[in-house]
């Protein structure tokens, strides 16, 4: 039977941030990813928590995988489509959510889609839903 290792939250954040930055993520991107990994651990989902950092690192180190800048491929006042460049879903979700909120502030509604990305999660939405700016169908 596997034993669990206990680590203080501040130490876990520092460890994740350091690993991600050494893998090639910017400080800001590493912070976003770290937030999601720690949040998953605290919610009781260890398989999507710190353990995932290994697959994130391994994936980025594969030949041809680069942390590319996201690109808006289609856009209107109320919508947008993002080329996620196969970037980590946490980062794509943050970009898409901010873009949707900016558009909705101007015209009251917005829809943003993103493809392709990987390891996306929906934990970003409760944060914004609590602020009354995001709704999921």
**35 and 78 assigned to the same domain:** no
**What is the predicted pLDDT for the residue at 137?**
40
Residue 47: exposed, middle, or buried by beta-carbon count in 10 A (0-12, 13-18, 19+)? exposed
Domain count, the chain: 2
Domain that holds residue 85: 71-130
- Indicate if 83 and 42 belong to the same structural domain: no
On whether both 111 and 87 belong to a single domain, the answer is yes
Residue 136 has pLDDT above 80, yes or no: no
Q: Cα–chain-centroid distance for residue 12?
A: 18
Q: What is the mean pLDDT of residues 47-76?
A: 85
* C-alpha to C-alpha distance for 27 and 39, rounded to whole angstroms: 18
Q: What are phi and psi of 63, to 5 degrees?
A: -60, 135
pLDDT score of 52 more than 60: yes
pLDDT for 131 equals 57
Structural domain includes residue 136:
no
Going by pLDDT thresholds of 50, 70 and 90, the confidence category of residue 66 is low
**SS3 for 29?**
helix
66 in a structural domain? no
Q: What is the pLDDT of residue 14?
A: 97
**Domain CATH number, residue 14:** 1.10.1530.10
Q: Which of 13, 47, 17 is nearest to 119 (CA)?
A: 47
**Beta-strand relationship, 111-118 and 71-75:** unpaired
Q: How confident is the model at residue 93 (pLDDT cuts 50, 70, 90)?
A: confident
Query: Is residue 79 assigned to a domain?
Result: yes
Do 112 and 100 contact (CB within 8 A), yes or no?
Answer: yes
- Collapsing DSSP to helix, strand or coil, 126 comes out as helix
- Among the residue ranges 11-15, 20-24, 87-91, 128-132, the one predicted with the least confidence is 128-132
Distance separating alpha carbons of residues 109 and 121, to the nearest angstrom? 22
């Amino acid at each position: 039977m596997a034993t669990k290792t206990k680590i203080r939250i501040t130490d876990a954040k520092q460890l994740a941030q350091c690993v991600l930055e050494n893998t090639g993520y910017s400080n800001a991107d590493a912070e976003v990813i770290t937030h999601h990994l720690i949040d998953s651990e605290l919610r009781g989902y260890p398989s999507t928590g710190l353990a995932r950092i290994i697959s994130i690192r391994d994936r980025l180190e594969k030949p041809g995988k680069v942390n590319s800048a996201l690109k808006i491929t289609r856009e209107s006042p109320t919508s947008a489509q993002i080329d996620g460049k196969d970037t980590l879903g946490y980062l794509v979700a943050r970009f898409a959510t901010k873009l949707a909120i900016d558009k909705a502030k101007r015209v009251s509604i917005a829809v943003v889609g993103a493809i392709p990305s990987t390891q996306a999660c929906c934990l970003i939405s409760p944060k914004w839903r609590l602020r009354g700016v995001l709704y999921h169908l």
